[in-house]
Amino acid sequence: MQRARPYDRDEALDAALGLFWEKGYHATSLKDLEAVLRMKPGSIYAAFTSKEKLFLLTLERYYERSREEFRSVVTEAPGPMAGLKAFLKAVASAEIRNPKHRACMLVKTLLTTTTEDAKITRTVDSYLEGMAQEMAHVFEQAKAAGEIRADLDPRRLARRFQSDLSALKIEAYRDAPAEELARRADELAQDLDDLRPAPH
């Protein structure tokens, strides 16, 4: 009797992440998961309990990677505002083989879930809030360093920055030309420059 092929959990989650990111939660069928994971239905349920649980695990993976990527880019920059500009440039110039992986998975999920997907919606909300807090922290650092005006609210700035990033990723998802994406990133970087204190 042939034994089932042992699965690598990280490899399986990465494969499921790519599939869910491209097709979305509801459009991804069990057959799709069987093919990409190379696992039988019983093995999938034994390993991950349910489709929803598997999806939540991939969302968590996506969020943690996105947060670490943001932190890495910002930390490597010479200052908080330079870090935010560098991240805009990184998003605009990201070379991702599958254009359907350009848009934010969290936003795509939020737009395609229903009232029956309350747990998924709450999870996405918490992750989007987590990213907003990360961005607000950078604006707080910029404010403390005198890089932006003292009257500005870091949380409001973070919300706007997050919205601008989502719009930029949507343009990338629509396969906008590289030069157009770069130009848009430059415009958003200029908006950040406008937050600087007036010269004395």
Domain boundaries, the chain: 57-193
pLDDT of residue 9: 92
The pLDDT value given to residue 172: 84
Q: Please answer whether residues 168 and 184 qualify as being in contact, where contact means their C-beta atoms are separated by less than 8 angstroms.
A: yes
Predicted local confidence at residue 1, as pLDDT? 34
Q: Does domain 57-193 have CATH number 1.10.357.10?
A: yes
For the chain, which residues score pLDDT lower than 70? Answer: 1-7, 95-101, 200
Q: What is the pLDDT of residue 2?
A: 40
